[in-house]
Amino acid sequence: MRGKSILAVVIVVCWVGVAEGGWIINEGDFYSDSIVVWGGTITTDIDVLMNGGTIMQNLNLKEGAYGEIYGGDIRNFLVIDDISEASMYGGHIGSGISSPEDGKFNWYGGTIDGQIRSGWTSTPNCHSYHKIYGYDFKIDGETVGECILTYEGFQRHLTGFLQDGTTIDNYLVIYGGSKIELVVIPELTTLFLVGLGSLILRRRK
């Protein structure tokens, strides 16, 4: 009787977690295969929240799913399919980003080892849109400011720093009507100095 009671409690807790927040991946969670997350199946805005853990293959967002990544390790690709969207603030992705069909990606922090792909060769009419938030951007060694990159038929080497200070060293690949936007923000030391200056001025007044 006691064993049955415990089992019933576990089932209820798991069901409530899925119903309220979709996929929640925390430190210590381990998935030996890919995870596919579908949009529109839960009542919250976030379909997958990754705080830690390990996914040995891909994290694949489909049918308008939205995901946020703050930590953990995706060993292969983050695939942003259909009209899905992902925002990355931390964590690590091994093989890169792929958005075959009209996907959106926002990169604020965390590390990506492979390519940042906007669009795909087999879907030339797609309109994927990626935004990279950072500073000191250089493309193929040349300093650039805020800009929108479009298809040029070859990969481009992006270096610089993300919003959280993480180093960028990735190749960008754009297909069809897709785009990648570089959004320039003040670096952390500049923000600190501006804040300190404002505080001093307020005290003098």
Q: What does pTM read for this prediction?
A: 0.80
Are 131 and 183 in contact by the 8 Å Cβ rule? The answer is yes
* Per-residue model confidence (pLDDT) at position 1: 42
Are 158 and 172 in contact by the 8 Å Cβ rule? The answer is yes
pLDDT tens across 143-178, in order? 999 999 998 878 999 999 999 999 999 999 999 899
Helix (H, G, I), strand (E, B) or coil at 97: strand
Q: Looking at the 3D structure of the chain, how many domains does it have? A: 1
Question: How far is it, in rounded angstroms, from Cα 66 to Cα 39?
Answer: 7
* Per-residue model confidence (pLDDT) at position 10: 31
Band of pLDDT at residue 204, cut at 50, 70 and 90: low
**Alpha-carbon dihedral sign for residues 73, 66, 96, 90:** negative
Helix (H, G, I), strand (E, B) or coil at 142: strand
| Contacts with 23 (C-beta within 8 Å, 6 or more apart), sequence order | 35, 37, 47, 48, 49, 50
Strands 48-50 and 35-38 turn out to be unpaired
Number of helices (H), then strands (E), belonging to the chain: the values are 2, 21
Q: Which domain holds residue 79?
A: 2-204
pLDDT tens across 29-76, in order? 999 999 999 987 555 689 999 999 999 999 999 999 999 999 999 999
